[in-house]
Amino acid sequence: MTSFQNDLGKARLKAVDEVLRIVKLEKPRIVGLGSGSTISLLLDRMADLGLNDPIFACSSLGTSLKLSSYGFKVLSLESLDWIDLYVDSADEVDRNLDMVKGRGGCLTLEKILASNSSKRIFVVDYGKLVDKLGSKGSIPLDVIPQAASMVCRKLRSMGFKSEIRTVEKGKFGPLVSDIGGILVDLYVDGGVDDPEELDRKLKSIPGVIETGLFLGYVDLLVIGYPDTVVLKRR
């Protein structure tokens, strides 16, 4: 492990512990959770600290299964119409607190849960901060399977590079999102100049279910550094 990787690990742990401190103070009844490696660490820390009061709702099957394995109460999304507090991580965050999320394939349910929560907390390490969204990786799109190739063709005609995400191990074929869509990765050279305009353009393409641009969703951003934690509010 490099020194940078070690620092990121320390930063992520500090940020996660700060989020759990806030959750304990907030005392929410129902907590929505996203997915990814940072959320997985948060679940491990929850188990260590014995945070047993809330009932949880999850955007991904992986998060739900891990919570259940620790003995936490998990509700099906079909049984809910509102969430007290939503906690998630992000792939990239810019200076306006807009985000790229969903590279793991859960973007649509993550956006639904975040949109139906009284408060949204996002947790990242300092390595996720960017000047422009899309400058460090793809912007994921959740796409109707039958339309995936046509969507990619449309994106090329708009001047973008895109590709259908494929499974790297164990199975041949495209990567399927948690709602049964196909993940398409969109790449923007130099990053996105106008995230709102790009989001509108992408959503206007028939076949695109949802985008990984999360604009205006942050109520509180918790940023972990190796020796401290910074809180930012929109």
Please tell me the distance from the alpha carbon of residue 117 to that of residue 85, in angstroms, as a whole number. 6
In this prediction, residue 48 has a pLDDT band, given cuts at 50, 70 and 90, of confident
Please tell me the distance from the alpha carbon of residue 49 to that of residue 29, in angstroms, as a whole number. 18
Please tell me the distance from the alpha carbon of residue 89 to that of residue 35, in angstroms, as a whole number. 7
Tell me where in the chain the CATH 3.40.50.1360 domain(s) lie.
3-131+215-233
Tens-digit pLDDT profile for residues 132-147: 999 999 999 999 999 9
Tens-digit pLDDT profile for residues 20-34: 999 999 999 999 999
Record the pTM. 0.94
Please tell me the distance from the alpha carbon of residue 27 to that of residue 78, in angstroms, as a whole number. 23
Token readout for 110 is 């993550």
- Give the Å distances, CA to CA, from 118 to 63, 86, 96, 131, 218: 21, 8, 20, 28, 11
Residue 42 confidence (pLDDT): 95
Catalytic residue numbers, as ranges:
110
3-131+215-233 CATH: 3.40.50.1360
Residue 137 confidence (pLDDT): 96
Domain 139-212 indexed as CATH 3.90.1150.10:
no
Q: Using the predicted structure, report yes or no on whether residue 49 has a pLDDT greater than 90.
A: no
In this prediction, residue 117 has a pLDDT band, given cuts at 50, 70 and 90, of very high
Tell me where in the chain the CATH 3.30.70.260 domain(s) lie.
139-212
